[in-house]
Amino acid sequence: MNISAFRVREGRTVNLKKRPTRVRPFYDSKAQYQSLLADHGKKLSALQNLLYADDRYALLVIFQAMDAAGKDGAIKHVMSGVNPQGCQVFSFKQPSAEELDHDFLWRTNNCLPERGRIGIFNRSYYEEVLIVRVHPEILDRERLPDPPRTGGSLWKQRYQSILDLERHLHRNGTRIVKFFLHLSKGEQRRRFLARIDNPEKNWKFSSTRSAAIAGRTTWPPMRIASRPRAQPTRHGMWCPPMTKRTPGSLCRRFWSKRWAG
């Protein structure tokens, strides 16, 4: 598999409108898919053992996407070969009162993986320059000390804080890989309807119904917020930063569930 078509390298910006959400499968049948998954799972398990035994590095994998893009499914299938004792998955939703009393990086910093372990973020600190940008009223709950709260300087400062954090983590042994699951609005609608029609998937829609519907009404501004901004020489696809130390991939999500049932 050639990942160059999906990877966003340092110094390149991305326009999501020009990036396709459909891609032909890299397998011909469900049996071949399961065989590839099992083979890659064994390789991943072996690498995890080396990571644990070496005890000098940590791996942080970040997933970002619109609702219904398949973050949970991707984590479940891709990480199926990993020993759960050495892996932790954290899902970041609305911040608690305690989290709002700290800086925007505090709650994710508390969940960073230790050396020898793998940490997976289902959403991450990037929400603070995506969701918060589209819904600036959230900033009122954060009680920031210095106005203007919604000015361009605020987002540039947050971008810089994220870049500084990731550089700091890299220097101290944490390797970061970031994935954006690219989904079209039409495919998102199909998946939402499937969650309603299929009783086994009703819980997925019920648990995120209000947020998901609200998210569709803000689709254009969310896409704008997801474009590279502030220091474009260092930014990646969803927002900054894609660097040589923290590579990112833009994964097309139309065909992702063809054989992953």
Question: Given this model, what pLDDT does residue 211 score?
Answer: 57
> Which residues is 248 bridged to in the sheet?
8, 178
- 184-206 as b/e: b if 16+ CB within 10 A: beebbeebbeebeeeeeeeebbe
CA 129/CA 153 separation, integer angstroms:
12
Q: How far is CA 126 from CA 23, 180, 189, 206, in A?
A: 26, 11, 24, 25
Dihedrals φ, ψ of 85, to 5°?
Answer: -70, -20
Beta bridge partners of residue 90, listed in sequence order? 121
Which pTM value belongs to this model?
A: 0.78
List all residues 6 or more positions away from 233 whose beta carbon is below 8 Å from its beta carbon: 10, 11
CA distance 69 to 184: 9
Distance in angstroms (rounded) separating the CA atoms of residues 136 and 203: 29
Residue recorded with tokens 């390149």: 12
Closest listed residue to residue 22, CA positions, set 40, 5, 34, 38: 5
Whether 142 contacts 200, CB under 8 Å: no
> Helix 202-217 and helix 185-197: axis angle, to 10°?
150
Per-10-residue mean pLDDT for the chain, 261 residues long? 76 77 83 89 93 96 87 86 92 90 95 97 92 82 74 84 94 93 84 79 60 54 48 36 59 43 36
| pLDDT of 73 | 87
Beta bridge partners of 63: 122, 179
